[in-house]
Structure formats: C-alpha cells, structure tokens
Amino acid sequence: MALADVTFKLYEDAALITQFTGPLIIEHQSDLSDGNRDYVLYFGSLSASTQLQTTVNPGVDDITITPVDILPEWVASTAAALDDSIEPTAGNNRRYVATTAGTTGATEPTWPTAIGSAVADGSVIWTCVSETHEPTEFKVASTNAGLDAATAGAGLALGNTLLSGSANAVEVHIRVTNTVTTLGDNSAQPEIGFNINDVTESAQ
C-alpha cells in the first residue's frame, strides 16, 4: 500500500495540524557559503486507533524514509513540453531543460555537459542548465543532534510499528548540504524526494 492510501503523513508541526505537501524550496549560495540547512517534519496520523507497519514482515521490519532522486529520466519517443526537466538514463550530474518542445528521438542523444550547451533529440532541444542535486546532499535522523553522525543519503528507520495520535508522531530531522555550484532553478520540477517503503495501515 502506498503512502497516498494511508492516513499517516508528514506534517510541519508536532500536533499534526498542517500537512507537509511540499516541495521544500531551498535557496542556496553557489559559493557554498550558506552551509547546512536543518529542518524538522513529523510523521504520524490523527486517525483513531490505527497503526502502520511494513507490508512485508509487519511488526518486524522497520518503516524507513529515504532520500531519493525523483528527476525524470530521458525516455525515447515521448512528448516533452517546454521547460520539462530530465536527466540522462546514465546519470551524469546534469539537468537538462526542454528549450524547444517536441517528441524525443528513438535513440538517446550524446549529452553535452557544459552549462548552456544544447543537443537535438528528435524534435526536442535540450539545454544543459545546471548540476543536479543528489540524495547524498541529505541526511535524516530522529533528532537534530543525530544529524551529525547520520550517513549522507541513507534512510532513517522510524520503527516497526507506528501508532496514530499526535503523542506518537515521529520526528524526522533533515539536513541539506548543497554541493551544486552552478546557478539554476529547479523549483518547478524538484530533483529529490523522500520514499517510504511499502506499508499497511490497520486497526490497533
């Protein structure tokens, strides 16, 4: 069962009043002088007497939240609208924006890596606009202090059984450390998301 099908969600507050619907928009300095940015969200449900467990090995395996790359990959023979963003199927740490809309070709092009360079792909023109943000720019931990020792890009175990109610909300601390030194704006198509493994909600 996907997270969209259960009442457990990410919230901006411990009382679980304001659901976090994203995206988390962060402005970075291209000289990396802004350092780390720390945030905290809360994972829980206000539904009465419900619990969340993994679908496989419920009550044994941990529910885990993990930063993942969500930038779409190039696909053959597919319509691309103006300003769509993609990355090559073999990631090269570059993001490309459709500066001419059209339909992609049958064969993936050879991607230029110089910022501002363009490549024809069927009737689409893709322009290399910036480096990409990667999951390794994110750390997650159950406390702010835990962020120091957290492994960049690794998931956070929330527990094997989560109970509803604001008193049982789980803190998810997030640290973002920008590594991209090129100017760009990906607010229209975010590059990083958080994935939660397959879960099932049931009565306590």
Average pLDDT over residues 44-65: 97
pLDDT bracket for residue 2 (50, 70, 90) = low
Is 47 part of any domain?
Answer: yes
Is 160 part of any domain?
Answer: yes
- CA nearest 86: which of 77, 78, 74? 74
Rounded Cα gap, residues 73 and 104, in angstroms: 12
Helix (H) or strand (E) holding 98: strand 94-100
Is 159 part of any domain?
Answer: yes
140/63 same-domain check: yes
64/9 same-domain check: yes
| Residues 19-52 as b or e (16 or more Cβ within 10 Å = b) | ebeeeeeeebeeeeeeeeeeeebbbbbbeeebbb
3-state helix, strand, coil in the chain (%, to 5): 5, 40, 55
Rounded Cα gap, residues 54 and 21, in angstroms: 22
Average pLDDT over residues 24-51: 93
143/171 same-domain check: yes
149/54 same-domain check: yes
> CA torsion angle for 53, 161, 172, 49 (degrees, to 10)?
90
139/57 same-domain check: yes
What is the percent of the chain where pLDDT is above 70?
99
Rounded Cα gap, residues 158 and 119, in angstroms: 44
141/53 same-domain check: yes
Domain ranges, residue 142: 3-68+135-178+193-203
21/63 same-domain check: yes
> CA torsion angle for 147, 176, 86, 43 (degrees, to 10)?
60
Average pLDDT over residues 145-153: 98
Rounded Cα gap, residues 11 and 103, in angstroms: 39
Is 45 part of any domain?
Answer: yes
pLDDT at residue 143 greater than cutoff 70: yes
91/124 same-domain check: yes
Rounded Cα gap, residues 170 and 13, in angstroms: 11
Tell me: the pLDDT tens digits for 155-194?
999 999 999 999 999 999 999 999 999 888 888 889 999 9
Return the half-sphere exposure (C-beta side, CA atoms, 13 A cut-off) of residue 151.
Answer: 6
164/117 same-domain check: no
Report the pLDDT value the prediction gives residue 1, as an integer from 0 to 100: 55
Is 74 part of any domain?
Answer: no
Average pLDDT over residues 72-87: 97
Domain count, the chain: 2
Is 73 part of any domain?
Answer: no
Report the pLDDT value the prediction gives residue 48, as an integer from 0 to 100: 94
